[in-house]
Amino acid sequence: MAEQNIYDNEAFFENFRSSRSNEANFNDCIETPILFSMLPDLREKEILDIGCGMGQHAKQYAEMGAASVLGIDISEKMLEYAKAHNSAEHVDYRRMSMEDIGTINRQFDLVTSSLVFDYAEDFGGLMQKIHGLLKDGAAFVFSMSHPIVTAWDGVYDRYTRTETGERLYANLRNYCKEGLRKVDWVVNGYECYHRTVSTLINSLIKAGFVIEECQEAHISDEMRERYPALFGGTIHRPEFIFFRCRKHS
């Protein structure tokens, strides 16, 4: 399969940019706070951010004291936005697919990634490449869509609801059937790869990582009550899964 570049689709990019501009969104209210809580001290660290997108994290890493940040992404639209709005001293943006990171001729103190590995066809191979880019003892912190979420194949509704639309529970189907998912979400034929939790864990172990922490997405009851249409389903399932790993010293 060709490397996916969904964010250069105009409709998908505009939907993403619009959602990030809202005060309440899944990235800023759930994903980023958890991801950042798992980061080590960034002062004087050399960092690789895989799938840097619009560059918000890369710029924040620089502001948190990183010595250098290399942000890579396959999307020209994302990188154009990053360079225009999130440029900073010690931050370099480069167009590159995550499959090609083995061509980077340097090692890092930290590798991060936010919600990108859903698009990786060979997750295990990618983890091995990342392991090779880390210095001994360095950390690897990333988020992905939770396997409960990526199991969705578009055939059935994500939730069973009451007549008034209230979510009663999340539906789960074909969880144990791993592989490519093609669904209609924002655009027709959106693609991602589904893997079980055990596959994610075992791929990290096989690549040589020590798993130090794992979290699942969570949000406060107060936020669910304030934005029920947006966050109402978070009581039934976690949207994201997070790992902090380390390369053996």
DSSP string of 149-161, one letter each residue: HHT--SSS-SEEE
Q: What are 6-31's pLDDT values in tens digits?
A: 555 666 556 656 666 678 899 999 99
Domains recognised in the chain with CATH numbers:
6-146+195-247 (3.40.50.150)
| Average pLDDT score over residue span 144-159 | 94
| Average pLDDT score over residue span 172-190 | 87
What's the confidence (pLDDT) of residue 1? 37
Structure tokens at 248: 């053996």
Q: What share of the chain has pLDDT > 70, as a percent?
A: 90
C-beta of residue 173 within 8 angstroms of C-beta of residue 145: no
Distance CA 183, CA 191 (A): 7
pTM, whole model, 2 decimals? 0.91
Which segments within 96-208 are labelled E, that is strand? 108-114, 134-145, 159-161, 167-170, 179-185, 187-194
End-to-end CA distance of the chain: 36
Mean per-residue pLDDT over the chain, rounded: 92
CA angle 29, 75, 134 (to 5 degrees): 75
